[in-house]
Amino acid sequence: QCEHTFVHSDPSVNMSSLGTLAFDEYGRPFIIIKDQDKKTRLSGIDALKSHIMAAKAVASTLKTSLGPNGLDKIMVDSDGEVTITNDGATILSMMDVDHQIAKLMVELSKSQDDEIGDGTTGVVVLAGALLEQAEQLLDRGIHPIRIADGYDQAARIAIEQLDKIAETFPCDPNNKELLIQTAMTTLGSKVINRCHRQMAEIAVNAVLTVADMERRDVDFELIKMEGKVGGKLEDTQLIMGVIVDKEFSHPQMPKVLKDVKIAILTCPFEPPKPKTKHKLDVTSVEDYKALQKYEKEKFEEMILQVKNSGANLAICQWGFDDEANHLLLQNELPAVRWVGGPEIELIAIATGGRIVPRFCELTPEKLGTAGLVKEISFGTTKDHMLVIQECKNTRAVTIFIRGGNKMIIEEAKRALHDALCVIRNLVRDNRVVYGGGASEIACALAVNQAADKCPSLEQYAMRAFADALEIIPMALAENSGLTPIQTMTEIRARQVRENNPFLGIDCLHNNTNDMKQQHVVETLIGKKQQISLATQVVKMILKIDDIRSPGESEA
């Protein structure tokens, strides 16, 4: 075969106007068109690879945070506020990402958090692994659409396999042990795992208190989390009632009230004012005294209306001035002011009261009832909080978290939120799979078997999907100080040999790989959602070949 090199014979054509003549490693000449080396916008396979690179960078950041031995990240926001966490959704939401594909990964973890509440790190690591495998298939010349189709088939097979290996947990309020084990698995990877048995019990009790077993639903509006710096993490407790970060409006009001009738007001203790612009001229002492008298009469009238309804505690969304406060004390009507909207709503739900927008509408039927309202103080500080207990609706609960500093309390809130979500998912669908990478290995084996029978090109993508699933147990092994590939190979071989889909990575070094014996439990809907969400995002990324910015010209 002969090679031809085209050389322009017309001397009038300036070579430099076209570009630069260069030679490759075999001495063959080629022309670099002018300014082509300065163009930054990529398209086609090159653009796809740059997208994969961005997604892999996000996934590799989270990989080290996976599992019970995962490491934490320190996030510093623009105000210098420090957050320490290993919660995937929190890390990604606080990461400053510019690349559009990296933003898709952030959205991926957010959708997992919104729908399931747990598994936010795993879903991003799995998506990153799928893209890494897709890159190798692209290098072999397989079209991205064929890869996406293969991934879709493999995800279906993996989800079917999860259904096969799932077990049903009896979601029985009288037998909480199985639910506590599931919550402990979720909390095992968090900072608060020092007392994670206690935290798991609090999460289970909170969910079972507010759960509607007939409708198989949990209303998270009824579970409030309140934190106060000071004390130990072990001092965290579940309070059957509502805690409000407020105190009685006057220091001389009684600190403990029993058999309380509560007026829940969203109207301020102040004389009525016209809604439009108004002007009042006080030109003499008599006018001023008349105004003062009018205000005092109005205050007394309001307090009388509250007292006549039978209320012995007023909780007000707005403030009131010192004169109103003094009159409330004189009339022996304890009051709390500046209570926020969400707290007002929760108090109304808990006490069975109605929120009253005008004093004239107060009636005995609209009052909330509580057995005990008390003001509690902490340590030697001036911090006070109100506890409303023995309410009419006992389904409203508050998790009161204590901790040495603000960061540990915030992390405890995030961890407990994940545990609450997992228990709620078990109330909705009480099927579980076993963790420690066991279900991923079982799914990978099922996908590989299906790939062997697939006659089309998609079998390569299916095998790649199986390899990506194995990244999760390998990351768990690596984070636990084990040899990832050797451990992974041994477990996979044992799963095939013993036909036991419960064998996984022994992250806590308990000398057994059977996750059922170790009680490492994950919800089935959470695991299925992880696989389907990661596959959907990867399919979407594989179908993107260009990113256009506004105002960009085609040059």
State the Cα–Cα distance between residues 542 and 220, nearest whole angstrom: 37
- Contact indicator for 431, 182 with CB cutoff of 8 Å: no
Handedness of CA 436, 437, 441, 447 (dihedral sign): positive
Over the range 132-165, which residues count as b (16 or more CB within 10 Å of their CB) and which as e?
bbbbebbeeebebebbbbbbbbbbebbbebbeeb
State the Cα–Cα distance between residues 119 and 529, nearest whole angstrom: 9
State the Cα–Cα distance between residues 202 and 216, nearest whole angstrom: 20
State the Cα–Cα distance between residues 375 and 388, nearest whole angstrom: 9
Per DSSP, the three-state class of 464 is helix
Nearest to 129 by CA among 465, 440, 505: 465
State the Cα–Cα distance between residues 540 and 151, nearest whole angstrom: 11
State the Cα–Cα distance between residues 239 and 372, nearest whole angstrom: 12
Nearest to 342 by CA among 458, 261, 246: 246
DSSP state of 125: H
Q: What is the DSSP string of 520-535?
A: -EEEHHHHHHHHHHHH
Nearest to 91 by CA among 463, 143, 105, 147: 105
Indicate which residues carry an active-site annotation.
87, 120-121, 418
DSSP state of 546: B
- CA distances (Å), origin 297, targets 277, 300, 324: 24, 5, 11
Count the neighbouring beta carbons within 10 Å of the beta carbon of residue 424.
Answer: 22
- Contact indicator for 218, 212 with CB cutoff of 8 Å: yes
Q: What is the DSSP string of 129-176?
A: HHHHHHHHHHHTT--HHHHHHHHHHHHHHHHHHHHHH-EE----TT--
- Contact indicator for 109, 88 with CB cutoff of 8 Å: yes
State the Cα–Cα distance between residues 258 and 246, nearest whole angstrom: 18
Burial of 55 (0-12, 13-18, 19+ CB in 10 A): buried
**Of all residues in the chain, what percent are helix, strand and coil, respectively (each to 5)?**
50, 15, 35
State the Cα–Cα distance between residues 385 and 248, nearest whole angstrom: 9
3-state SS record for 289-339: HHHHHHHHHHHHHHHHHHHHCCCCEEEECCCECHHHHHHHHHCCCCEECCC
